[in-house]
Amino acid sequence: MAQVISRAGWGARPASRRLDRITKTRGVKVHYTGGHVPLDIVDDHRRCLELVLGIQRMHMAGGREQPYSDIGYNLVACPHRRIFVGRGPGVIPAANGPGLNSQHYAVLALVGSSGFTEPNDELLHAVLDAVAYLREHGGAGREIRGHRDGYATSCPGGPLYAWVRAGAPRPTGKSVDPMEVIMRKLPVLKLGDKGWDVKTMHHLLIARDYAGLAGVSDVAFTEAHERGVEGLQRAAGIAVDGVVGPDTWRVLLRL
């Protein structure tokens, strides 16, 4: 069973008003973030905490068209098989859509539409543990549905929804190494490239003690980045070309 992290444990803000109660539901609807989730979230649980805190701030500030009184989900599942208590059991969520919140609890899986998009086994276990928790403590019924079931949205994303549609089975056998999944998705980066992967490379270079990026933007691959990559490659004894390919990604990620 996943470790359950209380609201106090993750530093949740108190709800802005009293939340409506509920005694039972048809089941649970599964959600995803609908945004970018850092690739290194599977290696650093602090990323999960930062993401949950950010989602609560966004919800309460009106990032979903109107301010919520609290984070919209009952529970949040992370790729380290841990569960964050959001609104908790026995409380109506705010994430399923108008007229739908009283029918199902809402469980968010920390997987996104970019970056970390393929749920690992630990995340799937955590979602199922969250469902079991809501059945035990909140009267959740047997249904496990995706957010898009009954509401026009891409949530919970293709990979997670395919798993839901397959019956949300428990992962069995040897777990797929999440870093190998990440490696298959990482592009080759070179001078002039832009995007989230460049940002990831930028901050990994800094984490590897490269000091030549002070004041350099992290949104585009610059000559400063190229020099840093060449130094990293030279120190690692791999081909020195200033291009971030599979071998260089492995050094950056310390595989």
* CATH label of the domain that carries residue 230: 1.10.101.10
Rounded to whole angstroms, the Cα distance separating 65 from 42 reads 30
- Over 70: is that where the pLDDT of 194 sits? yes
Q: How many domains does the chain have?
A: 2
CB contact set of 80 (below 8 Å; sequence gap of 6+) = 42, 45, 48, 122, 126
Residue 196 is assigned to a structural domain of this protein: yes
CATH of residue 86's domain is 3.40.80.10
- CA angle (31, 84, 102) in 5-degree steps: 50
* Domain identity same for 120 and 68: yes
User: Measured in whole angstroms, how far is the alpha carbon of residue 174 from the centre of its chain?
Assistant: 22
Q: How far apart are the first and last CA of the chain?
A: 29
Q: Is residue 207 pLDDT above 60, yes or no?
A: yes
Handedness of CA 181, 221, 52, 82 (dihedral sign): positive
Of residues 189 and 208, more confidently modeled: 189
- pLDDT over threshold 60, residue 158: yes
pTM of the model: 0.69
Domain boundary among 173, 204, 230: 173
| Same domain assignment for residues 97 and 131 | yes
Instruction: Give the span between the Cα atoms of 73 and 56, in whole angstroms.
Output: 9
Angle of helix 196-207 relative to helix 223-236, nearest 10 degrees? 50
Q: What residues make up the domain containing 210?
A: 186-252
Is residue 149 located within the same domain as residue 237?
no
CA dihedral for 181, 32, 199, 40, sign (positive or negative) = negative
Q: Is the domain of 115 the same as that of 13?
A: yes
Query: Is 114 contained in some domain?
Result: yes
- Euclidean distance between CA atoms 214 and 224, whole angstroms: 10
Give bridge partners of residue 31 from the DSSP assignment.
Answer: 108
Residue 129, pLDDT > 70, answer yes
Tokens describing residue 191: 């001078």
Residue 241 makes CB contacts below 8 A (sequence gap 6+) with 230, 233
Q: Are residues 21 and 94 in the same domain?
A: yes
Query: Of 144, 173, 202, which residue sits at a domain end?
Result: 173
Whole-number pLDDT of residue 255: 53
Decide if 68 is inside a domain. yes
Asked whether residue 181 is assigned to any structural domain, the reply reads no
Same domain, 238 and 193: yes
**Would 178 be classed as within a structural domain?**
no
- Say which residue the tokens 């996104």 belong to: 112
Mark whether 160 and 191 lie in a shared domain: no
Average pLDDT over residues 121-146: 97
Of 99, 97, 49, 39, nearest to 72 (Cα)?
Answer: 97
Does 89 share its domain with 130?
yes
Both 129 and 51 in one domain: the answer is: yes
Asked if residue 167 and residue 74 are part of one domain, the reply reads yes
Please give the Cα distance from 97 to 99 (Å, whole number): 6
Question: Do 226 and 127 belong together in one domain?
Answer: no
Boundary of a domain, candidates 173, 194, 219: 173
Residues 202 and 169 in one domain: no
The answer as to whether 136 is a domain residue is yes
pLDDT digit string, tens, across residues 47-98: 999 999 999 999 999 877 789 999 999 999 999 999 999 999 999 999 999 8
